Chains A and B, each alone.
Chain A
Amino acid sequence: MIEAPFTPEHDLFRKNLRDYVERELAPHALEWDEAGIFPREVFTGMAELGALGINYAEDVGGSAGDYWYVVVLAEELVRSRNAGVNMALLVQSQMATPIIGEIGTLEQKKEFLAPALAGEKIAALGISEPDAGSDVANLKTTARREGDEYVINGAKMWITNGTRADFITLAVRTGEKGYGGISLLTFPTDVKGYSVSKKLQKVGNLASDTALLFFEDCRVPVRYLLGEENHGFYHVMTNFQGERLVAAIGAVAGMDRLVEDAIQYGGERSAFGRPLAKFQVWKHKLVEHLTAIEAARWLTYRAVDLFDRKEVAIKEISMAKLFAGDLMQKVVYDCMQLHGGMGYVVETPVARAFRDARLLTIGGGTSEIMKEIIAKLVPGL
């Protein structure tokens, strides 16, 4: 793979998505951040474009497309200038639902997956807990088997789409301590004993709702078990790969937009009779970023290529997320700095990007977690 394998169909999907995102989403970026939520119709609108079911089978409403269509989605979504909306849509289609597509029963796919891909049911992924994030083997929410039911008790934290999810792909402990006792369930949120305890006030991604959830003697039928009992850990770990990969792709595309905006603003704004973009200090800084962004893109595309071909890509994906997430912090800092006072008011996209970008070294596994994962894969470390 020397060129990214985008076909005329990928290009056409990109054009339609870009038009949609720029016309239907971007104009509301500020308004939805202020509201702390966005309309449900965004899910159905994206579903009509086929943007939620890209890489799912046709019998659940998908298009059976390759992963490069997901790349197109993650790249074009950043044009909404609203990282919260993007995150919600990617959780809906690429984080909470892939497991159901892979190991769900026909019944589970019909009840949960198909309506999620049609934008009719909002999906959330329930893995992190107040005391366990990437340390999945330590999670404490329990599901006790009683006849044909599981009885669930515990709490989930930092759950995107959490305040209004119609169902949660939920990681629970059904067995022994450690990774061998973890199972996955599809959990409908209209079950008695379930409650949204708190909508979290975040630094960025404001249009996306993030919640603390409680489960108190919640009873669900055993048929909601995803795959085999106590075999959930492997699927959670695999699922992280897709989550981290879309984060890296989105980060690179986000940096493209930031530098593009900075160059435009730097060409329009003058100081001492000269456009900012013509000062050597800014020229050099922006060129350094463009160079690093290009490196991040090709590291990410390398990971995508492996992932798309179902090869092992844990190291490459972790490196892509680590590199792109860390680089974003420098790029957004400088692009905001170039905007001067305008960069400090939230009407300007770079100001909101500055808040939102912080998540990229934290969400989906922190940079430190990425380094731990990579270190384990390097002989001698």
Chain B
Amino acid sequence: MKILVTVKRVEDWESKIKVRPDQSWIITEGVNYRANPFDEIGVEEALRLRDANAPSEVVVVSIGPAAAGAEIRSGLAMGADRGILVKHDGFLDSDAVARILVKIVEKEKPDLVVMGKQAVDVDDNVCGQLLAEYLGYGQVTFASKKESLESPEEKGKKAGLKLSADKKSLQCAREVDGGLEVLEVSLPAIVTVDLRLNVPRYASLPNIMKAKKKTIEELLPAALGVDIAPKVKVVKVEPPPLRTAGIKVPDVAALVKKLHEEAKVV
């Protein structure tokens, strides 16, 4: 089984994000970067699937600046077999990303593409869906699992996605309002993963050392024949409104009065 898993380099959520004075984007100087956490869950799931269905291969692909090689290395250190970096500096809309991935899928012919359900930088949540549409593949979004993250199944590093006996389809659970639905999708397919699918492993130092020897192939969008001119452009970004200071009320009656008359919540 061949599994392609995507990893995006995103701003570390612990960095303090500030908006540029002209509101065109955020200030990137001094910001730390790391792999999108949903993608790390994707890598973990791909590794578990691989190990449960040998012989299999996990290929990590990222699209971004040369520095995104670090996020691929991170996936390789977790245990993935090799990497592909499609180098591009600057903004790409989700559609361009999906169309680049189409070319990678055509080249690699994986049985399964695993992606984070969204990247935590812009939260678009459309890439996996677009990719499935362009390829004409089945898709399962927000893959999750029945067992909790404290369950023995999770401690035993069991894959949440289950490959059928004939290896032609994959069973996936997904979270819906008030419960789970279980879907079966024929392969090849696109699966986007949610937060409660697994707890990604840490990369150990021996595995970090081993990953040095693994290869990362570098490609360019133009060489893949993809027009990356954006269809969606960022008009402006705004920081959330600053929290204003609270007020003190003398008693409960005054509080209820304010909630009723001013906030209009009771």
Contact = CB atoms under 8 A, between A and B. Distances in A.
A15 interface: yes
Interface stretch (B91-99, B174-182, B198-206): B198-206
Interface stretch (A4-12, A107-115, A202-210, A343-351): A4-12
B202 A65 contact: no
A50 B207 CA distance: 9
B70 A19 contact: no
A53 B77 CA distance: 17
A307 B53 CA distance: 46
A19 B205 contact: no
A169 B70 CA distance: 40
Nearest to B74: A12
What size tier do the contact residues of chain B reach?
Answer: 10 to 19
Given A12-B77, A15-B34, A51 B205 contact: yes
B209 interface: yes
Nearest to B204: A50
A13 B205 contact: yes
B205 A54 contact: yes
Interface of A: 8-9, 11-13, 15-16, 19-20, 48-51, 53-54, 58, 63-65, 69
A49 B205 contact: yes
Contacts of A63: 205-206, 209
Given A8-B70, A16-B203, A63-B206, 10 more contacts: A8-B69, A9-B208, A12-B73, A19-B202, A20-B202, A49-B202, A50-B205, A50-B207, A54-B205, A63-B209
Contacts of B202: 16, 19-20, 48-49
Q: Which of B74, B77, B204, B211 has the most CB of A within 10 A?
A: B204
A15 B74 contact: yes
20 contacts: A8-B69, A8-B70, A12-B73, A12-B74, A12-B77, A12-B203, A12-B211, A13-B208, A15-B34, A16-B77, A16-B202, A16-B203, A16-B208, A50-B205, A50-B206, A50-B208, A63-B205, A64-B209, A65-B205, A65-B209
Nearest to B207: A50
Contacts of A15: 34, 74
A152 B62 CA distance: 61
A12 B70 contact: yes
Contacts of A65: 205, 209
B167 interface: no
Nearest to A19: B202
7 closest A-B pairs by CB? A50-B205, A50-B204, A63-B205, A16-B202, A16-B203, A50-B206, A12-B208
Nearest to B14: A22
Nearest to B212: A9
Contacts of A50: 204-208
A9 B203 contact: no
A65 B209 CA distance: 9
A187 B211 CA distance: 38
A369 B8 CA distance: 52
Contacts of B204: 16, 48-50
A8 B71 CA distance: 11
A70 to B, nearest CB: 11
Interface string B189-230: 000000000000011111111011000000000000000000
A51 B205 CA distance: 7
Contacts of A13: 203, 205, 208
Contacts of A69: 205
Contacts of B212: 9
B137 to A, nearest CB: 32
Interface string B64-75: 000001100110
Contacts of B70: 8, 11-12
Contacts of A11: 70
Contacts of B73: 8, 12
Contacts of A8: 69-70, 73
Nearest to B69: A8
A69 B205 CA distance: 9
A50 B203 CA distance: 9
Contacts of B205: 13, 49-51, 53-54, 63, 65, 69
A341 B46 CA distance: 50
B77 to A, nearest CB: 6
B139 to A, nearest CB: 30
Nearest to A17: B202
Contacts of A51: 205
A9 B69 CA distance: 12
B76 to A, nearest CB: 9
Interface string B136-147: 000000000000
Interface string B50-94: 000000000000000000011001100100000000000000000
